[in-house]
Structure 1
């Protein structure tokens, strides 16, 4: 009986000590709130410190990793940002905000090969218009016109004629390459989808054409 009492007392004491330690340490939620408040105030170093503590306590907390990466970007440390954002992205692969910031961190870290592989792999696995457009945009940035063109064409095919985004990107890229004929073709295709879009109508007018049904070879008045 005495032995049992000793064991029970020891267990109680150990539990009490662990509880006391836990109470003396801020929770992840508390540190995230502190970090968010510091970030809102523009105190990026303080915010990074709070998010770093939260991330070390709970490495699987994607928000802590994401916000830590955001702070590092603001502090001009894209290499450290990329490390945190890689973890956040692995936990939330379909979160576009995380993916976009991770891609930017890789670009600013001059990790072009890793950036290319990441965005290409993401586009292939997710097969979304947005993912292919994002890959196309960075391929242009990396001066890879062939990959950009293929990505744009894939995005256009996936959009199935219902989304102007890949057509606008295609037109912009064609203009960048000096192919005005191809550019106006894409602008016209985009106009068919959204005839009231001012960016599209202004782009068409810049080529000396007036947006309207006759522009596409179809006259609705007949």
Structure 2
């Protein structure tokens, strides 16, 4: 099939592509702008000093916050021990420990010696409160449980001004692209399944027979 034939197929059922693209884009816009609640994220940064045993007189090594330690800290931050303490101290009676853990994240900050604790919530003030409280509780528990000598909070969480999700414009753009591709797929599928003969060219193409003549259709 040549490019011209593809273009003819698209032109013949262009309304299908336009309709599906508009429906997909409109639905995504309505959901993104009017249904989904904005999620705000606040973060706090900590510096962790882990104690190690050496014979060379070096008592501490502040460069041991590697990938494995970050995994350990992530599990501690999301543990029921930390979550329940944060819930209790913030007075969040309607929140479960699993719901609290789902709001939290831990990562190594820009490949440095610092770890970053993030908290997400629909209320920007609450996101800040949760992040700061988690940092306080983590600071106590990690010293008790993981042979860490000291933890310093470098940056406290602040009230975020803009939400991190949903990414409204991106959602609409993706929906428009998906709608366009879906519309094109549908019209080509319809064309593939349509085996009716409509033109003299179809006779030659599908039946391999020469066209002797055609009967014109006269308007009534």
Structure with max Cα Rg: 2
Higher strand share: 2
Fold equivalence (TM over 0.5): no
For CA contacts below 8 A with separation 6 or more, give which structure has more relative contact order. Answer: 2
Higher helix share: 1
